[in-house]
Each structure stands twice: as C-alpha cells, then as structure tokens.
C-alpha cells in the first residue's frame, strides 16, 4: 500500500513510505491480503495477550453490540462496567477499592497524576511535586510526557511540560543510588507521588529490575507518606509472569494504572484503580472537590464487555500455565544466543526477553532498528527494536516452535545487517 493520507504513529514517513496492509489475524499470527503470514512478536504493541481474536472475547463484544453500544457514563452505569469493576477488585493488589475508566494507557496515567494532586489539595496539604524514574516512559499526553524521561520522544514539546523530580533508575545489583535519591527527595515533604513502571521500563529500552528493589522503593514512599503510583499499562495481565507485576513484590500501590491487556488487546480500554483515602478525599457535598476528568467514551459498553470476557478467560482457562510455558521457551531461546558475541546484555522478565546488538549505534534513533525491522518482516516476523535493543514479547498462545522460528529469524537478520 503506497498511497495514503494517514499519518502513522512513531513513524518517519520520509524513511518508511509504505505501510504493510493486514487483512486478518488469528492466534499469534497476522496475515496480509495476499495471504503472507507474519508472526506478531510484539503482541501488536504489547496489547494482545491470549492471541488475536480470542473467541470468548470476540463473542462478548458481538453480543454487546446487540444490546448497548454507548451511553454517557456521568449519571449512568451498565452491567459490563459493573462486571469489570467487580472482577478487578477481586484480583487487584490489597487496598485498591475504587476504579476510574478511561480509554488508553496514557489517559490512565494522566488520571493517576490528577488523582494524586487532587488528593493532596482536597486534604489541605501543599504537595504537588511528582517523582519518576530516569529513562521512564508513561505516555504521550502532556502530563504523561512530563512524567516520562526527557529525550527524543518529547523534545519538541518541552515548553508544555512541567518539572518532575528524577530518580536514577535501579540497575541490576546496584539499586542503592536509587534508594538514596528517592529517600532524599521524599524527605523534602512536598512530594505528592512517585510513579514507576514495576519491574521493567518498557519504551525506555526494556530495562529490568527485581522485585526486592520495587518493594524497597515502595517502603521509602510509605515512610514519607508519598503516594505510590504503579504504571502497569504494559506489565498488567501476565507479561511479567504474574497477573500484576506488583504482586511479585507483595506491595499495594496507592494507585494502579491498567490498559493494553485489560481487554486481551481486542479494543481500547483503561482503568485507574485507587485506595479508599484517595476516593474519600474527593467525596463531598462540595462540588468543587469533584474529580474533574472524563472522556466521551468513558466505560464504553462494548470495550467493557471485552474486558469482562477477558477476566472470565483468566478465571476459567489455564492462562498462568500458558505464560509459564512461553516464559520457559523464551529462556531456552535466549540461552541459545548467549554464545554469540553479537548479542549482549541478555535479560528476561516473565514472557519478555531483550538484548542489545553489540557494536552498533546506541539510542532510540539507531539505524539498525529500521534495518532489522525490514529484514525480519521479509521473513514473516514483526518486531520493533528500540534502537539497538531487540525485544520479544509474544502472545501467550505462542508455541516453542514459533519462538524458535522468531529467534532463528533474528540471527539471520543480524547476519545480513552486520555483514
């Protein structure tokens, strides 16, 4: 497809003039109109969990279209939304009691930041500073770009962004600088909230850290009465090996951001969950203390039906066993790369693996990313390297043979690019 007026996301059309048409999808595979099959090694930007077009989720959406397509969510509710709320409250980390619907990962984080600031304002305390990890990515709205790392993603929009306190990201076996900086920042007494991506910083380069580090960051925040926001937009619903990454550290965040896998990846929906004190700070007969946020499609019934069906899949199917199988297959494939000096810093968290291509340009704009993407696509594999960082994040239906095909394709593509 060479002629289109569409402006695509994170795409430099001067270098990528043609987009690949996709006509169908099933399981872990995409298919072009001509019938070429492409393995979806990034779960279509980290959203597809069980596989494309899971029959129970698709059936729930189809059935919902026959009953209710959309209704204003201010002053009204509906059964699919109530089912999602009930299901999430049963599996969420302890202490989360309320949830607010939105429509994307960025908005779920934007809502979280506004909840935190609203909490401190409504309780009469002067706390407005946000802390975040270096190299973090939290979305593309103004608030979420502000919380994310400054760099190529947001350099053009710097005049719009607000100041955020930066905490060094925890590095493997060297997290003390993170703890020290967080402790010093929290002692100031003006911090409203600390936000982090639990266990793995996604768009920053699939940068991983352990559960003990996450637990200690949470402890420091609690010691200074700083709200802890867990951005699990990417990590939720099994990516790290558990339903929520926070579970591995045994921590209850004050605010939890969910999106992507919430509907199994079938349709956009997001949720921001919070503890009772945050909701209570906005609960009043004074209308000025209302939580002022909405989108036109808040809690869209069709999207909520998909999310409710996804929760049912988790309740009735062996999802954790599938995740474990994918994780084990990923580990074996990663181990096969270990002897090749071209692949460095091999790492894994749950179903996600990542590594760098040695002796290539560093940073997100590294040319090797486009070259590898093109060579892999020729072989029928969809991956989107983050500069010289290659990562594999497949759906949970992926088989061992399919993963071996992906890694074999990676080696072949690197052979060509580096020759």
- Write the pLDDT tens digit of every residue in 276-305: 999 999 999 999 999 999 999 999 999 999
Mean pLDDT lowest among 138-142, 152-156, 339-343, 407-411:
152-156
- Give the position of tokens 């096969």: 336
C-alpha to C-alpha distance for 168 and 28, rounded to whole angstroms: 36
C-alpha to C-alpha distance for 9 and 203, rounded to whole angstroms: 14
Alpha helices in 123-267 (DSSP H): 142-147, 176-187, 211-223
pLDDT score of 66: 98
**What would the mean pLDDT of 51-74 be, rounded to a whole number?**
98
Q: What tokens were used for 180?
A: 């020290």
Is the pLDDT assigned to residue 1 strictly greater than 60?
no
Q: Is 287 helix (H, G, I), strand (E, B) or coil?
A: helix
Give the percent of the chain with pLDDT over 90.
96
- Give the position of tokens 């020290």: 180
Is the pLDDT assigned to residue 2 strictly greater than 60?
no
pLDDT score of 378: 97
Pairing of strands 96-102, 270-275: antiparallel
Q: Taking Cα atoms as reference points, which of 125, 235, 206, 216 lies closest to residue 383?
A: 206
Burial bucket for residue 394 (CB in 10 Å: 0-12, 13-18, 19+): buried
400-417 helix and 319-337 helix, angle to the nearest 10 degrees: 30
pLDDT score of 29: 98
| Tens-place pLDDT, residues 396-410 | 999 999 999 999 999
Domain residue extents for the chain? 56-316, 318-417
For residue 281, the surrounding DSSP H or E stretch is: helix 276-282
Q: Which CATH class is domain 318-417?
A: alpha beta
Please, what is the average pLDDT of the chain? 97
Q: Taking Cα atoms as reference points, which of 311, 274, 297 lies closest to residue 109?
A: 274
Is the pLDDT assigned to residue 184 strictly greater than 60?
yes
What is the Cα Rg of the chain in Å?
A: 21
C-alpha to C-alpha distance for 54 and 74, rounded to whole angstroms: 31
Q: Taking Cα atoms as reference points, which of 32, 29, 2 lies closest to residue 382?
A: 29
Is the pLDDT assigned to residue 362 strictly greater than 90?
no
Q: Taking Cα atoms as reference points, which of 274, 271, 270, 283 lies closest to residue 255?
A: 274
DSSP state of 161: P
The answer to whether 47 touches 258, Cβ cutoff 8 Å, is no
pLDDT band (50, 70, 90) for residue 109? very high
Q: Which CATH class is domain 56-316?
A: alpha beta
Count CB-CB contacts under 10 A for residue 274: 27
Which of 42-68 are b and which e, b meaning 16 or more Cβ less than 10 Å from the residue's Cβ? Answer: bbbebbbbbbbebebbbebbeebeeee
pLDDT band (50, 70, 90) for residue 419? confident
The answer to whether 304 touches 366, Cβ cutoff 8 Å, is no
| Tens-place pLDDT, residues 204-257 | 999 999 999 999 999 999 999 999 999 999 999 999 999 999 999 999 999 999
Largest CA distance in the chain: 69
pLDDT score of 363: 86
């Amino acid at each position: 497809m060479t002629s289109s007026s569409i402006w695509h996301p994170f795409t430099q059309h001067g270098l990528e003039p043609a987009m690949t048409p996709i006509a169908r999808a099933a399981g872990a595979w995409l298919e072009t109109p001509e019938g070429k099959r492409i393995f979806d090694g990034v779960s279509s930007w980290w959203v597809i969990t069980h596989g494309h077009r899971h029959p129970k989720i698709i059936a729930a959406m189809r059935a919902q279209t026959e009953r209710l397509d959309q209704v204003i969510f201010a002053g009204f509710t509906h059964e699919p939304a109530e089912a999602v709320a009930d299901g999430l409250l049963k599996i969420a980390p302890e202490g989360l009691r309320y949830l607010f619907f939105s429509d994307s990962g960025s908005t779920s984080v934007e809502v979280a930041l506004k909840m935190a600031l609203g909490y401190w304002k409504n309780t009469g305390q002067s706390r407005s500073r946000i802390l975040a990890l270096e190299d973090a990515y939290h979305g593309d709205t103004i608030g979420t770009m502000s919380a994310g790392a400054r760099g190529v993603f947001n350099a053009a929009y710097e005049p719009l962004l607000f100041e955020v306190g930066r905490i060094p990201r925890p590095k493997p076996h060297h997290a003390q600088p993170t703890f020290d900086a967080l402790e010093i920042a929290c002692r100031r007494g003006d911090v409203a909230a600390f936000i982090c991506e639990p266990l793995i910083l996604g768009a920053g380069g699939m940068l991983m850290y352990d559960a003990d580090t996450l637990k200690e960051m949470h402890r420091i925040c609690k010691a200074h009465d700083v709200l802890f926001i867990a951005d699990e937009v990417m990590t939720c619903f099994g990516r790290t090996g558990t339903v929520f990454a926070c579970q591995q550290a045994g921590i209850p965040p004050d605010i939890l951001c969910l999106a992507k896998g919430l509907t199994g990846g079938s349709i956009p929906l997001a949720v921001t969950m919070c503890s009772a004190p945050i909701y209570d700070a906005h609960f009043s007969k004074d209308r000025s203390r209302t939580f002022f946020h909405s989108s036109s499609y808040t809690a869209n019934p069709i999207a909520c039906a998909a999310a409710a069906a996804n929760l049912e899949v988790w309740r009735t199917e062996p999802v954790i066993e599938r995740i474990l199988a994918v994780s084990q297959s990923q580990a074996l494939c990663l181990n096969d790369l270990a002897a090749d000096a071209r692949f460095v810093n091999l790492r894994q968290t749950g179903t996600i693996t990542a590594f760098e291509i040695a002796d290539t340009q560093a940073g997100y704009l590294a040319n090797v990313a486009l070259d590898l993407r093109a060579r892999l696509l020729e072989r029928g594999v969809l991956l989107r390297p983050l500069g010289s960082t290659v990562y594999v994040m497949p759906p949970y239906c992926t088989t061992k043979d399919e993963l071996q095909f992906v890694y074999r394709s990676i080696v072949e593509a690197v052979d060509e690019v580096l020759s």
